[in-house]
A and B are shown apart, each in its own frame.
Chain A
C-alpha cells in the first residue's frame, strides 16, 4: 500500500537495506550471546536518546534539501507522492547519503541485536539525517525493516530461538496493525505522525530500560 502510494520508496530503501541486512546478521549473533538485561538496557538507552534527538529537531515534516549529494543523484534517490492530509503533490530528494549508509550499517547491528527491528532508528535517520519527508521516512522504514529483519529472523530461527506459539500471535497482530498504520500514514498530518512516533518511542524506551534494570519485570 505504501509502495503504491509513494510513501515508501524502494529506490531509497534498497541501498540502505543491503548494508543493514548484512550487519544485522552480526547483530543477531551478538544479541544471542549477550545477557538479556544488558540488551534491554542498551535498547532503552538508544531509544530514549533518539526521543531527545527528535524533540530538539524542529521542522522535520518536510525537511528542506537544497541540493542532493553526488551519490544520491547517481542512484536517483528521489520520489514523488500525493500527501493525503493536504492533497499536495510533494517531490522529495535526499542528501548526506554516505553518512546515511554508515548510520544504517549501525542500525542493522542494533536491529539484529534487539531482535525487534529498528524502525525507531530508521525514521530519524531517514528524516533528520538524509532529509526525507517524515511520511516517506516512516513508509520506507517499514520496507527497510522487512528486508533487514528477514536476515536477522533466519539467525534466530536457525538457533532455535523462535517459539512459533509466541511469535505467531505477535506477527499476525503486527501485520494487521501495519495495514491500519499504512492507511493512517496517508491521511494524518506529518506533525501528528511525528508526535505519535515520539510518544511510542518514549514508552518503548522507558519500558526497555526499566525491564533491563529489573524495576519493571
Chain B
C-alpha cells in the first residue's frame, strides 16, 4: 500500500484543514469556559444550585431521584439557573457538544463549490441530527 510520493507533496484536503481549524478554536473556547466555571464553583465565588458538600451523597443516585431531591430542571430549563456556579459548568459542555455544528456548516459552501453534493448533504444531515438531539423533543429514561 505504501507508495513513493515525496513527503513535501503530502497535503490534506482544504475542507479537512478548515474543519480542523474551526474545531480547534471551538474546543479551546469550550475548555476555557469549563475551567473558568469549575474554578468559580470550587472557590465559592458564586452560589451553587447544589452545595459542594451535598454532592457526594447525591451523585450516586438514579437520575430521577437526584433531579427530585435537588429540584433540578429538565431540558433547557438549566438556562434559568445559569448564574449558579455548578449549573454554569453546563455552558462549557454545551459549547463542546455544539461546536461541531459551526464546523460542519462552514464546509457546505466548500463542497458545493466543488460539486461534491453528497458530502454537502452529509454535513447538513449531521447538523440536523445534532439539532434534533439538542431540541429536547426526544425523551426517555426511568
Contact = CB atoms under 8 A, between A and B. Distances in A.
A4 B72 contact: no
A176 B110 CA distance: 30
Interface residues of B, number: 65
Nearest to A30: B140
Given A3-B17, A146-B100, A164 B90 contact: yes
B78 to A, nearest CB: 8
B72 A165 contact: no
A10 B19 contact: yes
Contact of B31 (A5, A18, A175): A175
Contact of B16 (A10, A32, A147): A10
By DSSP majority rule, is chain B's interface helix, strand, loop, or mixed?
helix
A171 B93 contact: yes
B60 to A, nearest CB: 10
B132 to A, nearest CB: 7
A81 interface: yes
By DSSP majority rule, is chain A's interface helix, strand, loop, or mixed?
helix
A157 B97 contact: yes
A162 B138 contact: no
B141 A161 contact: yes
A32 to B, nearest CB: 4
Contact of A161 (B5, B63, B130): B63
A90 B38 contact: no
A32 B2 contact: no
Interface residues of A, number: 62
Given A4-B20, A154-B97, A154-B130, A172 B1 contact: no
A17 B129 CA distance: 10
B29 interface: no
Interface stretch (A21-29, A116-124, A204-212): A21-29
Given A155-B140, A159-B74, 8 more contacts: A4-B20, A18-B129, A33-B140, A36-B62, A153-B93, A164-B37, A164-B89, A165-B86
13 contacts: A18-B122, A21-B130, A29-B138, A32-B63, A89-B5, A155-B140, A160-B74, A164-B41, A164-B88, A166-B59, A167-B93, A171-B93, A172-B35
Interface of A: 1, 3-6, 9-11, 14-15, 17-18, 21-22, 25, 28-30, 32-33, 36, 62, 64-65, 74-75, 79-82, 87-92, 133, 146-147, 149-155, 157-169, 171-172, 175
User: A-B pairs with the 7 shortest C-beta distances?
Assistant: A164-B89, A29-B140, A32-B141, A3-B20, A154-B133, A151-B133, A154-B134
